[in-house]
Amino acid sequence: MRFDVLTLFPEMFPGYLGQSLLKLAIERGLVDVRLHNIRDWAQGPHRCVDDRPFGGGPGMVLKVEPVVACVEAVRRQADDPGHLVMLTPQGRRLTQAVVEELGGKPRLILLCGRYEGFDERVRQILKPDEISVGDYVLNGGEVAAMVVIDATIRLVPGVLGDEESSRQDSFAGEGRLLEFSQYTRPRGFRGHEVPEILLSGDHQAIARWREQERAARTRERRAGESDIAEDETVSRRGHAAQP
């Protein structure tokens, strides 16, 4: 899977790209991340990328010309023009379902904003898929782009050592339930014991207990939220798993 990140701060990425799963995925050729500085497409001696808003108001607005020029040039760098994502708090909220949708694309072009936002004509001309990582305002789209990369590469075959682990993630699969609780050694710590059932060796019983945990946790922590399985699935599963 290929990612092209369009940003005014490409230096923010190498630390993140050079670590852990992502580093391995890049080394193994499963994921390709290319960074592009929007400023390289700005005109004039100062390569100015932002300007004051028409109509007044605080802050600066990202200019339409360098952004459109950068996106169009980067799209042409491969046969597949890619799926253009604009990171903005005004976008549709990123959920695991949206991650799955984005993870199915072979090439994502991630457009990161800064300042007060993009000139509206960027949207009118490029018609990006606008994505928000949550209802709060970040200083720019870079961290949001890292979130999109981080979540989608988990779905790229071969990136996780064990394919089962992304299927077991919270929100994965039918019902979009939270994950069950996990324990490792020691069996007891400060009076908190590992649930007996996990030591029983009875795999069917363990699977049932985990299903029940997922349903109960989701009910407790995400009741009434629209992206997560609505009461019907959660409570049906909860009941089905009762002994």
Task: Quickly tell me which residue has 């299927």 as its tokens.
Answer: 167
Q: Return the residue matching tokens 């939270």.
A: 178
Under the binding rule (CB under 6 A), the answer on residue 10 touching ligand ADE is: no
Cα 53 to chain centroid distance, Å, stands at: 30
# residues contacting ligand ADE (CB under 6 A): 12
Q: Which is nearer to ligand ADE, 89 or 238 (CB)?
A: 89
Dihedral of alpha carbons 217, 220, 221, 223, sign? positive
In the structure, how many helices (H) and strands (E) does the chain have?
Answer: 9, 9
Where do the DSSP E strands lie in the chain? 2-7, 32-37, 50-51, 61-62, 83-93, 107-112, 129-132, 188-189, 192-193
Task: Give me 12's structure tokens.
Answer: 């923010």
**Is residue 7 within the footprint of ligand ADE (CB under 6 A)?**
no
Query: Cα-Cα-Cα-Cα dihedral of 161, 166, 170, 174, to 10°?
Result: -150
Q: Is 89 known to be catalytic?
A: yes
Q: Which of 10, 66, 82, 89 binds ligand ADE (CB under 6 A)?
A: 89
HSE-up of residue 154 (Cα within 13 Å, Cβ side): 17
Exactly one of 31, 33, 109, 138 binds ligand ADE (CB under 6 A); which one?
A: 138
Q: In whole angstroms, how far apart are CA 190 and each of 72, 186, 198?
A: 59, 10, 19
Q: Is 126 near ligand ADE (CB under 6 A)?
A: no
Q: Which is nearer to ligand ADE, 54 or 136 (CB)?
A: 136
| Shortest distance (Å) from residue 115 CB to ligand ADE | 10
User: Interface with ligand ADE includes 144 (CB under 6 A)?
Assistant: yes
Does the annotation count 52 as an active-site position? no
Determine, following the binding rule CB under 6 A, whether residue 87 of this chain makes contact with ligand ADE. yes
The least CB distance from residue 135 to ligand ADE, in Å, is 7
- Chosen residue from 57, 76, 136, 190 binding ligand ADE by CB under 6 A: 136
Of the candidate spans 47-55, 126-134, 211-219, 231-239, the one that interacts with ligand ADE by CB under 6 A turns out to be 126-134
Active site residue 51: no
Selection from 48, 6, 42, 34 nearest residue 144 by Cα: 6
Question: Nearest distance from residue 53's CB to ligand ADE, in Å?
Answer: 17
Which amino acid is located at 217 in the chain? R
Binding segment (CB under 6 A) for ligand ADE, from list 18-26, 51-59, 87-95, 119-127? 87-95
Residue in 39, 75, 123, 154 annotated catalytic: 154
Determine which one of 50, 116, 130, 179 is catalytic: 116
Six-digit token pair at 158? 């071969």
Annotation marks residue 121 as catalytic: no
Residue numbers annotated as active site: 89, 116, 154, 169
Residues at the interface with ligand ADE (CB under 6 A): 87-89, 132-134, 136-138, 140-141, 144
